[in-house]
Amino acid sequence: MAKSRSSTGRTFAAHAILITWTVIALFPVFVTVINSFKSRRAIFADPLALPWPEHFDLVGYTTVLKQGDFFGYFQNSMIVTVVSLFFVLLFGAMAAFALSEYRFKGNTLLGLYLALGIMIPIRLGTVAILQIMVAGGLVNTLTALILVYTAQGLPLAVFILSEFMKTVSDDLKNAGRIDGLSEYAIFFTLVLPLVRPAMATVAVFTMIPIWNDLWFPLILAPAEEVKTITLGSQIFIGQFVTNWNAVLAALSLAILPVLVLYLIFSRQLIRGITAGAVK
Amino acid sequence: MASKKPVRWHIAVFLAPAVLVYTAIMIIPLFGTLNLSLFNKGPDGVGFVGLGNFATLFGDPRWSASFWNALGNNAWFFLIHMLVQNPIGIALAAILSTPRLRMAAFYRTAIFVPTILSFVIVGFVWKLILSPIWGIAPGLLDIVGLKTLFAPWLGREEYALTTLALISVWQFVGIPMMLIYAALLSIPDEILEAAEMDGITGSSQFWKIKLPLILPSIGIISILTFVGNFNAFDLIYVAQGALAGPDFSTDILGTFLYRTFFGFQLQLGDPYMGSAIAGAMFGIILLGVCVYLFGIQTRLRRYQF
């Protein structure tokens, strides 16, 4: 069939484009990781070669790992990210539902008020936030970070989720009401499952800036026992600017946990996206 | 229309947690900053100066040159994202959503990898790759015979900003891709089948059926890009430092704010002028968002499936 031939060509082109961009996306990570396992001379002589036994050298890692508690940093980042994410999704979805579902006085105004937070970086209020945390005795606790990140994530979550909630059919919700479901039951059992793809998307959007943030850990929680992994690796890299082995090893150590975490979550995320879309 | 129930408490319950956390941790401190921008140090202590700081910022040559430079650079930064990042993201999503595409999960996962990396990592990794000392970039260009094209891109005034913008595109292209991908998947099969019945397939199906249906998502992406770019700071800070070198050619509003607010090297931190810059950024972003909300979003048609 002529049609199948043209579709073979199209599939080939699609793969070619996707492979090209995949290479572009992964190349810098790849180069960093392979060079972190090489001796200093091999890093400069042949940066693209794999770390064959003759140049294999873990000197970068031994330098870096002597200096700090990477596992502890990782755990701190995990706790902060997961807890903040939970609150952002729960509170954000609740508020988005209220805004997109009910007509009440001040609805539009409240929507704009919440959307304001997308426009302004929360960093502009750092000085006042620090004062609040000092007053509440929350400096150098993970709670301080969780509070800030929850506030930071909410506006975008509300904005995106209410866009998606507008597409949930009214008939379905009204059918639920006729069957005697409470508004809470409608939200948790009817609407939430339907906006799951949007929730997954919001989760990724919220998670990344939290995990990667350098600013608030530096200001609100710089103590050793509450350091996040981004702050930890920034300090490492700063210490070893001219030691290429150590810099590359520190970068790899910062990349690998995120990568593993992402690979675990991405399956979840993609299942969420496709499950919701296929219905 | 709304029914005439006395008090609908569930609305308050749904809204309360988000509004409370958001107000206490975000709005009140931000308001504090905006308030600060109306004050400045005078001969007899700190006093109220009204819009004086803004007049200085826009008019006084010592400040305005830096400000307009940062604003112009920021506009260019945004333009590159709109012209490069978003079209690539949409194209990748459209290709990925092809039915029965093999290894789609792998591509999706791989292309999103840069987005999950922190600015600290991205800044350093690209600095190393583009570094003339290490020689990965010139080496690669040499393989394809284009070695003469190599220049220390991050070190040259005319290229540095564009290079950083492209690094940022490289990092964040996954976000429009994922959003559009989710939007494309949520288009019901019946609509696409109906289109196929009418003989609309392939790329004309994309332009005529899918694109109009995902326009609201494209709108969201554009405004997110705008806001993100005008708040950008980290990448430039990590790659070029607070001085946004060479010779301020990569200075954007975020780095300008940081330098002014917290000070650097010989300049002392000035919370009042810093707050004024924050206020100006706020105004610019607010303007852009209003243009979107009232000029564009209201004209987008939404479909309920």
Return the domain boundaries, chain A.
27-57, 67-278
Region A7-23: mean pLDDT is 87
pLDDT at site B168: 93
Please report residues of A whose CB lies closer than 8 A to that of B144.
Answer: none
Taking 60 as the threshold, does the pLDDT of residue A277 lie above it? Answer: no
pLDDT > 70? residue B90:
yes
Contact B286 A119 (CB under 8 A): yes
Mean pLDDT of chain A: 82
Of the CA atoms within 13 Å of residue B226, those in its CB half-sphere come to: 20
Q: Which two tokens stand for residue B213?
A: 């249906």
Q: What's at B198, amino acid-wise? A: D
The correct answer on CATH 1.10.3720.10 for the domain covering A67-278 is yes
Q: Residue range A87-110: average pLDDT?
A: 91
pLDDT computed for residue A96 by the predictor: 93
Distance from CA of B71 to the nearest CA of A (A): 16
Mind telling me how many Å the CA of A9 is from chain B's nearest CA? 12
Residue B32: how many other CB atoms lie within 10 Å: 17
The answer to whether residue A278 scores a pLDDT higher than 50 is no
Instruction: Name which of B14, B203, B261 to mutate to probe chain A: the one with the most chain A Cβ atoms within 10 A of its Cβ.
Output: B14
Predicted TM-score (pTM) of this structure: 0.81
Q: Residue B232 in contact with residue B168, Cβ under 8 Å?
A: yes
Query: At CA A171, angle to CA A166 and CA A173, rounded to 5?
Result: 70
Q: Determine the residue type at B98.
A: T
Of residues A89 and B132, more confidence is placed in A89
Query: Are A110 and B19 within 8 A, CB to CB?
Result: yes
Alpha-carbon torsion angle B68, B243, B53, B232, nearest 10: 70
* pLDDT computed for residue A275 by the predictor: 46
Q: Is residue B120 less than 8 Å (CB to CB) from chain A? A: yes
Q: Do B22 and A154 touch (CB under 8 A)?
A: yes
Mean pLDDT check: name the lowest of B65-69, B100-104, B276-280, B297-301: B297-301
| Helix pair B174-185, A196-212: axis angle to 10 deg | 170
Cβ contacts of A259 on chain B, cutoff 8 Å: 113, 116
Placement of tokens 């036994």 in the chain? A53
**Of A47-51, A200-204, A245-249, B34-38, minimum mean pLDDT range:** A47-51
> pLDDT band for position B109 (50/70/90)?
confident
The domain made up of B53-119+164-299 is a member of CATH 3.40.50.1950:
no
Burial class of residue A26 (count of CB atoms within 10 Å of its CB; 0-12, 13-18, 19+): middle
What would you report as the CA-atom Rg of chain B, rounded to the nearest whole angstrom? 24
Query: Is pLDDT larger for residue B158 or for residue A275?
Result: B158
Q: How far apart are CA A156 and CA A135, in angstroms?
A: 28
What values do phi and psi take at B45, rounded to 5?
A: 85, -175
- Averaged pLDDT, B250-262: 85
Read off the amino acid at residue A172.
L
pLDDT tens per residue across span A175-205: 999 998 898 999 998 888 888 777 877 887 7
**More confident call, A1 vs B165:** B165
Pair B180, B221: CB distance under 8 Å: yes
Identify whether the C-beta of residue A229 lies closer than 8 Å to the C-beta of residue B116. no
Q: Which residue in the set B2, B98, B107 is minimally distant from A104, CB to CB?
A: B2
Q: How much is the pLDDT for B129?
A: 85
Q: Distance from A212 to chain B by nearest Cα, in Å?
A: 5
Give me the residues paired with residue B47 across strands. Answer: B40
d(C-alpha A97, C-alpha A176), whole Å: 15
Rama region for B170: left / alpha / beta (φ>0; ψ in -120 to 50; rest): alpha
Q: Do B118 and A258 touch (CB under 8 A)?
A: yes
Q: Which residue has the higher pLDDT, A204 or B277?
A: B277
**Residue B209, SS3 per DSSP:** helix
Instruction: Show residues of chain B in contact with A228, CB under 8 Å.
Output: none
Each residue of B26-74: pLDDT tens digit? Answer: 999 888 888 888 888 877 777 788 788 888 888 888 888 889 999 999 9
List C-alpha distances in Å: A249 to A32, A38, A214, B124: 8, 10, 19, 12
Categorize the per-residue pLDDT at B117 as very low, low, confident or very high, splitting at 50, 70 and 90.
confident
User: What angle (nearest 5°) sits at the alpha carbon of residue B168, between those of residues B164 and B174?
Assistant: 160
Furthest CA-CA distance within chain B: 79
Task: Read off the amino acid at residue B6.
Answer: P
CB contact under 8 A, A205 and B24: no
Q: Percent of chain B having pLDDT more than 70? A: 96
B300 touches chain A (CB under 8 A): no
Q: Inspect the interface and report whether the beta carbons of B33 and A125 lie closer than 8 Å.
A: yes
**pLDDT higher than threshold 70 for residue A276:** no
Tell me the backbone φ, ψ of residue B264, rounded to 5 degrees: -155, 150
Evaluate the omega torsion of the peptide bond into residue B246 and state whether it is cis, within 30 degrees of 0.
yes
Q: How far is A219 from chain B (nearest CA, A)?
A: 12
Give the pLDDT score at A84: 95
pLDDT confidence band for A88 (50 / 70 / 90): very high
The pLDDT assigned to A86 comes to 94
B143 interface with A at CB cutoff 8 Å: no
Average pLDDT value for chain B = 84
Using a CB-CB cut-off of 8 Å, the residues of chain A touching B27 are 113, 116-117
Of A24, A97, A158, nearest to B170 by CB-CB distance is: A24
Q: Estimate the crossing angle of helix A70-101 against helix A142-165, to 10 degrees.
A: 40
* Partners of A80 in beta bridges: none
Contact by Cβ (8 Å): B91, B270 = no
Cβ neighbour number for residue B1 with a 10 Å cutoff: 4
pLDDT tier at B1, thresholds 50, 70, 90: very low
Residue A130 pLDDT > 50? yes
